[in-house]
């Protein structure tokens, strides 16, 4: 019974007018596409969303290109806008968050200070390893590789391999 309810909710979210999936998108079970806070989701041809993937717009837009693979239990938020190019591989348990809490006023609780929303752009042919965190305001250029477990707080150049906390250049692919 619970499974049927989850299946029905997933179907309703899939059918919303602000969710645009190419006919060739492969969506596995327990994928959540949530635009209830506004915004939109757009996913290109031959992209796959594996088990337990969560896409939540929070009023922003999530756009994923063609031939991408979003692996199990990855969470993608859309607050400030998230654009993912073509042929991007995102390993499991990755979290991409295009927003950040404001916290400069000590007399006001952090949850009452609002958010900044710069957005995140991930260009074509990028590989993001397992368990990475990509934070607001970052652009990852084409051909970059993000090592497993990295926390990306700054832009990543074309064909660069980064890793660590915070992510630093490990080497260039060229």
Please give the positions annotated as active site.
101
3-state secondary structure of 129: coil
Instruction: Render 72-89 in DSSP notation, one character per residue.
Output: TT-EEE-TT-EEE-SS-E
Specify the DSSP element, H or E, that contains 4: helix 2-15
Q: For 167, which DSSP code?
A: T
Task: Break the chain down into helix, strand, coil percent, rounded to 5.
Answer: 10, 35, 55
Q: Quote the DSSP letter at residue 143.
A: T
Under 8 Å CB-to-CB from 126, ≥6 apart: which residues?
85, 88, 89, 140, 142, 143, 144, 145, 146
Cα–Cα distance between 105 and 92 in angstroms, integer?
36
């Amino acid at each position: 019974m619970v499974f049927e309810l989850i299946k029905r909710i997933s179907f309703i979210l899939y059918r919303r007018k602000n969710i645009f999936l190419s006919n060739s998108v492969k969506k596995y079970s327990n994928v959540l596409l949530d635009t209830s806070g506004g915004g939109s989701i757009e996913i290109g041809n031959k992209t796959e969303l594996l088990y337990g993937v969560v896409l939540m717009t929070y009023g922003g837009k999530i756009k994923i290109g063609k031939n991408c693979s979003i692996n199990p239990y990855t969470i993608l938020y859309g607050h400030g806008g998230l654009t993912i190019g073509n042929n991007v591989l995102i390993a499991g348990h990755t979290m991409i968050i295009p927003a950040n809490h404001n916290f400069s006023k000590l007399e006001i609780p952090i949850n009452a200070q609002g958010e900044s929303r710069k957005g995140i752009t991930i260009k074509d042919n990028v590989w993001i390893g397992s368990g990475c965190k990509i934070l607001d305001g970052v652009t990852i250029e084409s051909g970059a590789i993000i090592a497993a477990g990295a926390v990306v707080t700054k832009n990543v150049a074309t064909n660069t391999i980064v890793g660590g906390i915070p992510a630093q250049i490990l080497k260039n692919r060229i």
